[in-house]
Amino acid sequence: MAKLTVPTIKSLPTEFRKEGVLLLKEGTDRPLTWLDVVVDKYSEGGTDEEVIAKLRITKKVFGQLLKDDLLFYEVVQHGRMCAYAWWLACARDNLLTKGFNTSLWSFWMKNRFSWADKQDQTIGERRPDGMSTDAVNDMFDERLVELEKQFRKKLG
C-alpha cells in the first residue's frame, strides 16, 4: 500500500502533541495529521465546531480555509457527508432499541441538518438520504485517493 502524503496547509498544525508527546495515528507508527483529525471527527458524526476545536484553530480561520484551500474544502465537504451518514445509521441501528430517544435524535437532525416536519420542495438540493454509511465512507475514501493523486501530480 502506498504511503499517504498529507499536504501541509498554512494555518493548520503540522503535528499534534499531548503533554509534549507526539500523537500517533491510532494503529500506526506515523504522526497524527490534520487530515486524520478531520476525517476521524466527522466519521464519528462530529460537527464543524468539534473539528475546529480538535485542529486548535478559530472559526474565522476555518472559514477562510474553506474559501482558500480546495483540498481542505473537499475533505470537509466529504466529512460532513460522513457525519450525516453516521447520524442516519445511528437511528437505523437503534430505532428498535428500547432506550433510543427518537425525539432527541429528531430534534438534533432538525437543528443540525435543517430537517423539517414538512418538506419544502426546492430544486437543486439533494441529501444523501438513501446512502448507507459504508457507501459514503467508500466514496470519501475514493475521493481522498483522487485528491492525493492530484497533489502528487502537482508536486511532480
Render pLDDT for 73-96 as a digit per residue (tens, 0 to 9). 999 999 999 999 998 888 888 877
Taking each helix axis from N to C end, the angle separating 34-43 and 133-155, rounded to the nearest 10 degrees, works out to: 170
Q: Is residue 95 part of a domain?
A: no
Question: pLDDT tens digit string along 36-80?
Answer: 888 999 999 999 999 999 888 899 999 999 999 898 899 999 999
Output the pLDDT for position 112. Answer: 77
Work out the number of other CB atoms within 10 angstroms of the CB of residue 123.
4
If you search the block for the grid coordinates 503540522, which residue do you land on? Answer: 14
The pLDDT, as a whole number, for residue 126 is 47
Beta-bridge partners for 22: 17
For the chain, what is the mean pLDDT?
78
pLDDT band at 1 (very low <50, low <70, confident <90, very high): very low
Task: Note whether residue 151 is domain-resident.
Answer: yes
Domains identified in the chain, total number: 1
In a domain, 49, yes or no: yes
Report if residue 77 sits inside a domain: yes
Distances 48 to 36, 70, 133 between C-alpha atoms, Å: 15, 17, 19
pLDDT band at 99 (very low <50, low <70, confident <90, very high): confident
Please give the average per-residue pLDDT across 103-113, as a whole number. Answer: 79
Q: What is the mean pLDDT of residues 100-117?
A: 78
pLDDT digits (tens, 9 = 90+) for 8-47: 676 676 666 665 666 667 776 777 788 888 899 999 999 9
For residue 107, what pLDDT band results from cuts at 50, 70 and 90?
Answer: confident
Residue 44 in domain: yes
DSSP state, residue 22? E
How far is C-alpha 57 from the geometric centre of its chain's CA atoms? Answer: 16
Residue 11 lies inside a defined structural domain of this protein: no
State the pTM of this model. Answer: 0.62
Q: How far is the C-alpha of 105 from the C-alpha of 78, rounded, in Å? A: 22
Residues spanned by the domain of 24: 17-83+132-155
End-to-end Cα separation, the chain, in angstroms: 20
Q: What is the mean pLDDT of residues 134-146?
A: 77
pLDDT at 149 over 50: yes
pLDDT for residue 52? 92
Percent of the chain with pLDDT over 70: 72
Identify the DSSP state of 56: T
Is the residue at 7 inside a domain? no
Within a domain: residue 122? no
